[in-house]
A and B are shown apart, each in its own frame.
Chain A
Amino acid sequence: SAVISQKPSRDICQRGTSLTIQCQVDSQVTMMFWYRQQPGQSLTLIATANQGSEATYESGFVIDKFPISRPNLTFSTLTVSNMSPEDSSIYLCSVDRPLGRTDTQYFGPGTRLTVL
């Protein structure tokens, strides 16, 4: 499986500020995804990070609130902008189809965000 790291692992932020979360993979991958898991809830897909083009956002998520970068095949960032307490969640990146595998997604260790 791919080795995925995320930074920071956790943060406590003030309302109105922004936080950028980084996701690094140890091998080139086709697809990278960002998920949110609010307290007590399951995972919800925010967007697909496309290399060399704009991210594809799911219904209910917009680029102004969650800008995403994917400068190459091993790295992506998610920014949570103008944060409010409702943004307190675990944010997870995942990768699809590391070389030689199909359909299975592997998840990074997650970033636990608390907004005061």
Chain B
Amino acid sequence: EDKVVQSPLSLVVHEGDTVTLNCSYEVTNFRSLLWYKQEKKAPTFLFMLTSSGIEKKSGRLSSILDKKELFSILNITATQTGDSAVYLCAVPPGGGADGLTFGKGTHLIIQP
């Protein structure tokens, strides 16, 4: 059974801090790993990672994948209160189906 484990489950930091969120996974026939940000209801897509060691960047957010150690990290630098959200990591299953298996998420709170 595919598995996604995120840590920490919650994190409180001050504005301006840098945070690192972790995601480890177990899936047969790995295809990709996705990061989402969920503020109210709908998760919004951040990154899709398929290759080890290649960093994806978008502004203050970046993410990298390690396929040998089966994990990914999401970094947010110079955090702002608007970064407060639940960050979700997900993988498509390896068995040929197409739905996503999600981790429990990291609830990030940025204090002013």
| A1-B45, A109-B42, A110-B41 known; A42+B100 contact, CB < 8 A | no
8 A Cβ contacts from A10-66 to B = 31, 33, 35, 41-45, 48, 56, 58
State the majority secondary structure of interface residues on A.
strand
- In-complex Cβ contact of A107 among B42, B99, B101, B103 (8 A): B42
**Could you give, for residues 25-45 of chain B, a 1 whenever the CB lies within 8 Å of some chain A CB and a 0 otherwise?**
000000110101000111111
Nearest-Cβ distance from residue B55 to partner chain A, whole angstroms: 18
**Could you give, for residues 73-116 of chain A, a 1 whenever the CB lies within 8 Å of some chain B CB and a 0 otherwise?**
00000000000000000101010100000011111111010000
- In-complex Cβ contact of B88 among A43, A44, A106 (8 A): A43
Interface residue tally of chain A, by bracket?
20 to 34
Indicate if the CB atoms of B41 and A104 lie closer than 8 Å. Answer: no
Bound complex: CA of A105 vs CA of B98, how far in Å? 10
Bound complex: CA of A56 vs CA of B98, how far in Å? 11
Q: Does B61 contact A (CB under 8 A)?
A: no
8 A Cβ contacts from B36-77 to A = 36, 40-45, 48, 50
B residues engaging A (CB < 8 A)?
Answer: 31-32, 34, 36, 40-45, 48, 50, 88, 90, 92, 97-105
A residues engaging B (CB < 8 A)?
Answer: 1, 31, 33, 35, 41-45, 48, 56, 58, 90, 92, 94, 96, 103-110, 112
Nearest 7 CB-CB pairings of A with B:
A110-B41, A45-B99, A42-B102, A43-B102, A107-B42, A42-B104, A109-B42
